[in-house]
Amino acid sequence: MFTDADDANATSVRAWRDRPAGHQPDWPDAGDLEATVAYLRTLPPLVFAGEADRLQREMAAASRGEAFVLMGGDCAESFEEATASHIRAKIRTILQMAVILTYGASVPVVKIGRMAGQYSKPRSAPTETRDGTTLPSYFGDAVNGHEFSRPSRTPDPRRLVEAYQRSAATLNLIRAFTTGGFADLDKVHEWNKGFMANPAYARYETVATEIDRAMRFMLAAGVNHESLRTVDLYASHEALILPYEEALTRVDSRTGQPYDCSAHFLWIGERTRDVDGAHVELLSRVRNPIGVKLGPSARPADVLALVDRLNPEGTPGRLTLIARMGASTVQERLPALVEAVRDDGRPVTWVTDPMHGNTISASNGMKTRRLADILAEIRGFFSVHESLGTKPGGIHVELTGDDVTEVLGGSEEIVEDTLPARYETLVDPRLNHQQSLEMAFLVSEMLRDVHL
């Protein structure tokens, strides 16, 4: 249960307001924004503290190599696509990847959707100019509309309320699908779709057949545990729009501690990880498990300063470092960071984001990524940990359950000419369903080597 008590903990959550906050939209009316925050504060939390604590224990297991984290979902969710069929497809992709990893490497998989709240984006420029017209950039559906017109691009705090509502509806469906039968391991065949001529689907079919046999064996042997039928699928997003995150932060009456109840797991982006900035300040005050993205410019001293601010006591599972270095730089830039944290001794969970350091422009100007680069970065991440004696704790990927054509490569190869066929992302290119499965098979092989 949560109290609304305006005690010391609740007040401390406002401390970010005294710090520089990067990448905040230019809201046209401060009064409107504060009224929205006050309204959001009256709405129920989306997740509860006990769930965040449980995830923290699972992240701790991943930091020790006793579990592996799979985080995935859209670069930016949109209100329009928060429909049952899109959500179901994304959950199915995550479940199939999780099955491949769990079965292939015999290691528990911590499943986290980049879902139910991933509605805001930091942008490289605050404005965008087309044909002589300059308007605010698209900051995500929680802030403004994607359409290039003044009414649509003007930040509107009512969108924060819609983001909350869409997140609530998405979480409701996630909870229904993951506990109501859809995630049952006797459904592994039903999740598969598409033509078996596709190597990823055919390979999945083989795994599914093996799991079916194992399930029948267990049932025959009298094992029929609830855990075979349900999964925990946690929700996460970038904690970017600070008034929203503040409004959803509630003091847990059991522990007296503040939790950001907009999601189980929140992360700070590469562009907002300034150790003295407002984003670090806010997340330093909440008890959720949290992450920080680290790009190639991060130095060991920056990372240690973040550990000091975000996990001074070294609570296992509290802090995840998500490296997004790029395939060509991961082997060069990551080791010094991993080494510094290893020598410091406070535990962190190391996760690779193999997407954001590998964005390129196709010759037609479309923003894309090569599956080969993405896989190369994951391999580099595993090899860095192997050589330093540390644990690769998980992957963070941008994916969709749909058959989009946004990332180059894959066994049903997407080439530059076929990119426009189904290029639907509002921001960054995502792995499609079959590319996601292909990646899961590769990661399961790498993980098997770690665990043998």
Binding stretches for ligand TRP (CB under 6 A):
95, 98-99, 102, 108-109, 183, 185, 227-228, 230-231
User: In the structure encoding, which two tokens stand for residue 169, read together?
Assistant: 């509806």
Q: What are 432's two structure tokens?
A: 């499609």
Contacts of 181 (CB under 8 A, 6+ apart): 187, 229
Instruction: Note whether 171 binds Mn ion by CB under 5 A.
Output: no
Please say which residue, 178 or 390, places its beta carbon nearer to ligand TRP: 178
Which entry of ligand TRP, Mn ion, none binds 428, CB below 5 to 8 A by partner kind?
Mn ion
Question: 385-409: string of b/e by CB count within 10 Å (b at 16+)?
Answer: beeeebbbbbbbbbbbbbebbbbbb
Give me the least distance between CB of 328 and Mn ion, in Å please. 19
Q: Which is nearer to Mn ion, 373 or 428 (CB)?
A: 428
- Quick one: tokens of 171? 């979480």
Q: Tell me the closest approach of the beta carbon of residue 109 to ligand TRP, in angstroms.
A: 6
- Residue 138: DSSP 8-state: P
In the complex, minimum distance from the CB of residue 280 to Mn ion, in angstroms, rounded to a whole number: 20
Are residues 366 and 420 in contact, defined by beta-carbon separation less than 8 angstroms? Answer: yes
Residues 6+ apart with CB under 8 A from 360: 367, 368, 369, 370
183 binds, among Mn ion, ligand TRP, none (CB under 5 to 8 A by kind): ligand TRP
Residue listed under structure tokens 């490289």: 124
Residue in 81, 274, 428, 438 binding Mn ion, rule: CB under 5 A? 428
- Choose the contact partner of 99 out of ligand TRP, Mn ion, none; CB within 5 to 8 A by kind: ligand TRP
Residue 227 near which of ligand TRP, Mn ion, none (CB within 5-8 Å, type-dependent): ligand TRP
Q: Would you say 237 and 210 are in contact if contact means Cβ atoms under 8 Å apart?
A: no
Give min distance, CB of 355 to Mn ion, in A. Answer: 6
Report what 112 binds from Mn ion, ligand TRP, none; CB cut-off 5-8 Å by kind.
Answer: none
Q: Work out whether strand 68-73 and strand 2-3 pair parallel, antiparallel, or are unpaired.
A: unpaired
Residue placing its CB nearer to ligand TRP in the complex, 103 or 119: 103
Name which of Mn ion, ligand TRP, none residue 76 binds, using a CB cut-off of 5 to 8 Å depending on partner kind: none
Residue 225 CB neighbour total at 10 angstroms: 8
Between 151 and 365, whose beta carbon lies closer to Mn ion?
A: 365
Which residue, 109 or 376, has its beta carbon nearer to ligand TRP?
109
CA-CA distance, 1 to 107, in Å (whole number)?
33
Q: Looking at the DSSP assignment, which residues form a beta bridge with residue 249?
A: 260
Kindly tell me which of 100 and 351 has the beta carbon lying closer to Mn ion.
Answer: 351
Length of the chain: 452
Residue 431 binding Mn ion, by CB under 5 A = no
219 vs 336, beta carbon nearer ligand TRP: 219
DSSP 185: G
Which helix (H) or strand (E) segment holds residue 43: the answer is: none
Site string for Mn ion, 63-92 (x = CB under 5 A): ------------x-----------------
- Could you tell which of ligand TRP, Mn ion, none binds residue 211, using a CB distance below 5 to 8 A set by kind? none
Q: Closer to Mn ion at the Cβ: 329 or 359?
A: 359
**Closest separation between CB of residue 196 and ligand TRP, Å?**
21
Q: At what angle do helices 371-388 and 433-451 cross, to 10 degrees?
A: 20
Strand partners, 250: 259
**Residues near Mn ion, by CB under 5 A:** 75, 428
